[in-house]
Amino acid sequence: MAIQRVTSKWEKTNVLLRNTATQSLIPHTAKLNKERLEEMLGRYGMVYLKPNRGTFGQGVIRIEKQEGRYTSQTGTTARTYSGVDALYAALKQSTGRRLYLIQRGIHLLKHRNRRFDFRVMVQMSPSGKWETTGIIGRLAHPKKIVTNYHSGGTPLPFERLMSTHLSPSGQASYLTRLRKMGVQVAQQLQSAYPQLKEIGIDVAVDTKLEPWILEVNTMPDPYLFRRLKDRSVFRKVYRYAAAYGRFKSKRASR
């Protein structure tokens, strides 16, 4: 059976919004238009714009409103606009006809003054049950707005990033919470996409330690977990992926 891949962020978001268990984990998300941009900036002060289809954080734009001025940043380039009309005109030039989503900005926790989030890997086990098999932190490049490894982010263990925010017992409880959340998200998405075998959830943790689902990838990169010193995590991720046919070989490369 083929492994199902869903590329539309909007479709996946709407599936998660149908379930009360996952609904509360989704930051306010909508299709981008000028009115929605103005309304959400007025409400939240910061938003992220994302192409509906795309990977590795490409095309992501952060916009902040401060004292009536608007600052947009893509990559390491930031521009300031005096009004929403000028801002939106510039956005349309760069986004073209592509469908973009607008999402409430989450103020991420920081490690050594750099933002970070987590990738939660959830896979179908060889026995046919969803299981959270890996959790890894992604520390953003100091000058960039996304945490992705392909955009200069640094993969790090959960414990190192959370050591200044939670006690060891608090970290253990939080990991249990993320693992449970991962399975709930997978089960909900499977209700709409029955051939799903794996997902990678990008989870932001805000300054009040609340988790938020930024995005769900249905073809996540398993090799990210090879960056952990604990090799058993990658071996398990690889073994499960090989069992449901993601790879031709069932032997994990070292």
| Tens-digit pLDDT profile for residues 226-238 | 999 999 999 999 9
Looking at CATH, the fold of the domain delimited by 29-104 is given as Dna Ligase; domain 1 (3.30.1490)
Res 79 pLDDT > 70:
yes
pLDDT-based confidence at 94, cuts 50/70/90?
A: confident
CATH code given to domain 108-243: 3.30.470.20
Q: How confident is the model at residue 192 (pLDDT cuts 50, 70, 90)?
A: very high
What percent of the chain lies above the pLDDT cut of 70? 91
Within 10 A of 7 (CB to CB), how many other CB atoms are there?
Answer: 13
pTM of the model: 0.92
pLDDT digits (tens, 9 = 90+) for 8-51: 999 999 999 999 999 999 999 999 999 999 999 999 999 999 99
Say which residues have a Cβ less than 8 Å from residue 35's Cβ, sequence separation at least 6. none
User: 153 forms bridges with which residues in the sheet?
Assistant: none
Four-point Cα dihedral 117, 23, 36, 219, nearest 10 = 50
Residue 151: band (very low, low, confident or very high) from pLDDT cuts 50, 70, 90:
low
> Residue ranges per domain, the chain?
29-104, 108-243
Token pair for 243 = 């069992």
pLDDT over 90 (residue 141):
no
CB atoms closer than 10 angstroms to residue 123: 28
For β-strands 198-205 and 114-124, DSSP reports them as antiparallel
**In this structure, is the dihedral angle defined by the CA atoms of residues 182, 50, 74 and 206, taken in order, positive or negative?**
negative
